[in-house]
Amino acid sequence: MDSTPHSLSLTALASLPLIQPGDDLAAVIAAALLRESLVITAQDVIVIAQKIVSKAEGRIVALANVKVSRKATILAARTGKDPRLVQLILEESKCVLRVGREVLIVEHRNGFILANAGIDQSNVAPDDPENRALLLPVNCDLSARELRAKLRVQLGVAPGVLIIDSIGRAWRRGTIGQALGAAGLTALTDLRGQPDIFGRRLRSTEVGSIDELAAGASMLMGQAGERRPVVVVRGHPVMQDDGEGAAVLQRAETEDMFR
């Protein structure tokens, strides 16, 4: 049976205000949907940029308050990065996998393999932006589940929720949208055993469905000053329960051929 969408509609919200720490993100999104005359159903997906989730959760750090360790000082000298940023990267990571100019490839404590632990300084704060940094949510899947529950209260229905960020890739240039947290969505679609068009059974095909969705939504969000951090998707399957979340996409270390 074909479970893939035959068509998708993606619409970026255009009227969201700048998010501040402590904002009720679900209420802000619901208000924008009302302003833009978009009625959400339980079969829609709300794709949200990680940055505004982190902001609402108060994950902004003033670099002046960061105490730098000896290890961070040594790595800062090797990378050319601000020692305070390096310290935050270490605190957010399980381990450092690679060290390069201006970059640390780490295993984030959420399990993601990321450059600089996903810590960012772009579009963080209008005041003193060079001395503030934004961390990922403590638990992206939990954030997605909580947002879905709050959206149910605001909208009367529970759409799927996807939290995404742009990441770089080891063997290809350019960033691409990737799922960090999900609720109400099938993260990994297992096609093993299904026939291809000639009847041959697939042996290893698993599709990172929410990563594909993240990449599409990321195109509408943009990367600089576009201010479109929320995208509504129609036509993608949504589950009644929250599902396993994005964590299921992480490859176990025993399966990692390059670590």
Q: DSSP of 175-218, one letter per residue?
A: EEEEEEEEESS-SEEE-TT-B-TTSPBPSS-EEEHHHHHHHHHH
At 1 the pLDDT is 40
At 208 the pLDDT is 83
At 170 the pLDDT is 85
Q: Which of 134, 163, 196 is the last residue of a domain?
A: 134
- Its domain, for residue 129, covers 60-134
At 86 the pLDDT is 97
Residue at 3 is within a domain: no
Residue 229: give its domain's CATH number: 3.30.1330.100
The residues with which 169 forms a beta bridge, in sequence order, are 172
Residues 91 and 127 in one domain: yes
Q: Give pLDDT < 50 ranges for the chain.
A: 1
Give the C-alpha separation, 183 to 139, whole Å.
Answer: 12
Residue at 2 is within a domain: no
At 116 the pLDDT is 95
At 224 the pLDDT is 66
At 257 the pLDDT is 83
Residues 69 and 197 in one domain: no
Instruction: Please tell me whether residue 172 adopts helix, strand or coil conformation.
Output: strand
Residues 237 and 157 in one domain: yes
At 73 the pLDDT is 97
At 153 the pLDDT is 97
Kind plus residue range of the DSSP H or E element containing 241: none
Q: How many domains does the chain have?
A: 2
Q: Tell me: the pLDDT tens digits for 195-234?
A: 888 888 888 878 889 999 999 999 999 776 678 999 999 9
